Amino acid sequence: MAFIDGLFKLLSDEIYFNLIRESRYELFLKGLLISLQLTFCSALVGGVIGLFVALARLTHNKPLNYIATKYIDIIRGTPAVVQLLIIYYAVLAQTSLPRVTVASIAFGINSGAYVAELIRAGIQAVDKGQMEAARSLGLSYGRSMTYIIIPQAIKNILPAMGNEVITLWKETAIAGFIGLDDLMRGAEIVRGRTFSNYTPYIVIAIIYFYITLLLTQILGRVERRMRQSD
């Protein structure tokens, strides 16, 4: 009984000093909002880049195909944290853009390479007869892709795209390298004030877990809706 009481007191003290005292929970809340904003903006940027790069990879224009291929190779072959630091300290160093905007661009560029391959694979999974039928009806290549091929490809790539968003959500934990007050940065600030070596990290681990679980459930519902529409 004494052991349980001691454990309960220790847990209560950790929660008080790391969350309640001096309203330190606000650091986690602020970090959560920034991490969510960063994930959403990065996913949008990555989706747009990925679509154009995927179409460039599928085109018969050799220069465009070459540029798209090299972009994918370079991005996938280097760590995301290195790309973030290069874009922040070198590429966009002279701009007055907010850190969250710079980080969104960096993560979007990183995600775009992976999204491009997902979209390319999804488009190539659509039966070739669909394109031939669309062109035989007089539709241009662009209209055929827009109205016939891409809508069918979306169903093929949706699960993988959902996984990419989840991966992106967890990757944003490195945004603190450029001084962005995300979840990880909030945990570091709290740890520096309370000298607690594990509680702040356990708190953000729980937050990351439940947000990931929520995203997984949302993705599962969307997939079931799309299967019903079939």
pTM: 0.84
Confidence label for 3 from pLDDT (cuts 50, 70 and 90): low
Check residue 177 and give its pLDDT.
Answer: 86
pLDDT for residue 41 = 94
Residue 176 in contact with residue 188, Cβ under 8 Å? yes
| CA-atom Rg of the chain in angstroms | 22
Tell me, what's the pLDDT at 180? Answer: 85
Is pLDDT above 70 for 14?
A: no
Whether 111 shows a pLDDT value over 90: the answer reads yes
Neighbours of 230 (CB within 10 A): 5
In the predicted structure, residue 203 carries a pLDDT above the cut 80: yes
Structure tokens at 59: 């085109």
**70: burial class by Cβ within 10 Å (0-12, 13-18, 19+)?**
exposed
**pLDDT beyond 80 at 113:** yes
Q: How confident is the model at residue 6 (pLDDT cuts 50, 70, 90)?
A: low
Averaged over 61-76, what is the pLDDT? 91
DSSP conformation class of 174 = G
Model confidence pLDDT, tens digit, residues 29-50: 898 999 999 999 999 999 999 9
Pull the structure tokens for residue 26.
């606000």
Q: Is the pLDDT of residue 189 over 90?
A: no
Q: Give the separation between CA 102 and CA 145, rounded to whole angstroms.
A: 32
Residue 52 has pLDDT above 60, yes or no: yes
What whole-number distance in Å separates Cα of residue 230 and Cα of residue 228? 5
Averaged pLDDT, 52-70: 89
Task: Answer whether 134's CB lies under 8 Å from 66's CB.
Answer: no
Kindly list the structural domains of the chain, giving each domain's residue range(s) and its CATH number in brackets, ordered by start: 27-229 (1.10.3720.10)
Average pLDDT over residues 62-76: 92
Give the model confidence (pLDDT) of 115-171 as tens digits. 999 988 888 888 878 777 877 888 787 788 777 887 778 777 887 888 889 999 999
Residue bearing the bigger pLDDT, 100 or 18 = 100
Q: Distance between CA atoms of 83 and 91, rounded to whole angstroms? A: 10
User: What does the pLDDT average to over 188-199?
Assistant: 83
